[in-house]
Structure 1
């Protein structure tokens, strides 16, 4: 498991403890793939980008494009990450493979209704397809039914 995936697992565990539904590697729009997206119990959408090192953060040129697809945006990093590199106007999560903790809550910028409906619908569809694929892998392999 790659370092970013280990952070995503810890973040997902924390979000589940907060009653959020979680997907990893979700595409809200063609050309954008977020590390973690969650759908909270009141319909709130959070995006979390997991950064394992300075170079990983420096190479991410798309993160500002994620802001228009969520109500709250967070960075998730491990204890060794130089946190001063991260923009202060976003949330901060300290994570490891086993859990995570919110160090700084992200400011809320509520999505417009139409955008929220689209992202929520896409989230539900992705979750259902992933579940079906885990139950019936042949349905996605081109196999004969």
Structure 2
């Protein structure tokens, strides 16, 4: 094998900085430590990509938006659209990020490449049943497709995840 499992599943596409990748790794470790599972770079129904989509054991869905710098946060005007695709919306940021600029109605994780700490819980805004079903199916297809791609990359030709 060359590289890590994440490298095989999501080859670098040049959009994420090293800082953003470290924050994402820490946030995913936070999720896993709580018995949850996360899918990085999940394409939503709008075509936008959630940095991390999390599925809880009871079906609750979180979106974690990674922000690696103040400039990254200020340049992004799409994160508010993610609310329609989750029960809880979080930001994951580096330890030196100024937390006071983040919206008060979102959760905050402070993360680095080794893990994350919950600074503020995200308020719950439950998805309606048909949105939850569609999103859960999208998460499942994406995760299963990535696993299939690891086992046999040729098998996925022509399949849209």
**What are the ranges of 5 or more consecutive residues in structure 1 without an aligned counterpart?**
none
Hey, what's the Cα distance between the residues in 2 that align with 1:117 and 1:13?
A: 26
Bigger strand share: 1
Hey, what's the Cα distance between the residues in 2 that align with 1:29 and 1:96?
A: 29
**What are the ranges of 5 or more consecutive residues in structure 2 without an aligned counterpart?**
1-16
Counterpart for residue 94 of structure 1: 110
Give a deviation string over 1:80-115, Cα, whole Å, max 9, x none.
111111011110001001101111000001100000
Counterpart for residue 81 of structure 2: 65
Q: How does the TM-score come out when normalised to structure 1?
A: 0.93
CA contact (8 A) 2:145 2:156 kept: no
Match of 1:27 among 38, 43, 56: 43
Poorly superposed stretches of 4+, deviation over 3 Å:
none
Superposed CA RMSD in Å reads 1.3
Pairs aligned (count): 142
Q: How does the TM-score come out when normalised to structure 2?
A: 0.84
SS in 2 for 1:34: strand
Hey, what's the Cα distance between the residues in 2 that align with 1:2 and 1:120?
A: 29
Hey, what's the Cα distance between the residues in 2 that align with 1:3 and 1:26?
A: 19
